[in-house]
Amino acid sequence: MRFDVSDEGPVGAETVVLLHGFPQSAQSWIGVSRPLLAAGYRVIAPDQRGYTPQARPRSRRAYRLNELVADVVALVDAAGAERVHLVGHDWGGGVAWMVAATRPDRLHTLTAVSAPHPRAVVKAMLTSRQSLQAWHVGFFQVPWLPEAAIRSRGGRFAVAMLEQSGLSADLARAYTDRFINDPDGLAAALRWYRAMPLDTSVGLRTGAVTVPTTYVWSTDDIAIGRRAAELTSRWVTGPFDFKVLEGVSHWIPEQAPDELATYILERIRSISPAT
């Protein structure tokens, strides 16, 4: 498979890898990338599996977590890096947690954005309203209906839902139009969700993370509640910081890029003070 990748900054510098979520692309990281590049880092942001036309398997089994983790490791190899600073938002955050848990040898640090540790999510679903907040996960399991809903009436339903979740009108329209113009891309993006039943045991067995980690959560996130966010620390045994952005929605990379970049740089410099 061939992935579309943004790769900027000095080739010999420490490398930061940015993983986007749904329904985003590497472009969602533009505001975050600028401060990282200005600080002298190499910044790599791929369009992940399914979002890249030449990396779009048709089987939902191809979107299991072990495959997504393998993509990240292959990307790090292709970049010529031994270890990287990994950042992930939304689904990208879920993948980043799994990379940190299973391949800590390839990471310097982890910054997870919005997405809590998988076992924190499971625990929160049993002890809070987290299941209700993640209603879209169940909806996306239904065949064909989510695709039809997202494309209906020129995408008005999807745009309205994204705006309601806190995304700006311009970005809500841009993300929706991308999938309307690329229905195969929409189906592929939804396979991330449809592969989840195949990965239930994997999430439950996700180990504790030992690499230095920062978890960033926002109070106006309609998908992730405070309970899951606060439980995350239980599954990090290495150095850990929990950052809370007040009044910010789920879309932290787009809505608060400077604050997020500051937290990423703080985490990186906690182990690289001379950088």
Give the 3-state DSSP-derived string for the chain, with helices as H, strands as E and coil as C: CCCCEEEECCCCCCEEEEECCCCCCHHHHHHHHHHHHHCCCEEEEECCCCCCCCCCCCCHHHHCHHHHHHHHHHHHHHCCCCCEEEEEECHHHHHHHHHHHHCHHHEEEEEEECCCCHHHHHHHHHHCCHHHHCHHHHHCCCCCHHHHHHHHHHHHHHHHHHHHCCCCHHHHHHHHHHHHCCHHHHHHHHHHHHCHHHHHHHHHCCCCECCCEEEEEEEECCCCCHHHHHHHHHHECCCEEEEEEEEEECCHHHHCHHHHHHHHHHHHHCCCCCC
- Alpha-carbon distance of 14 to 20, in angstroms, equals 20
Positions marked active-site: 90, 193, 250
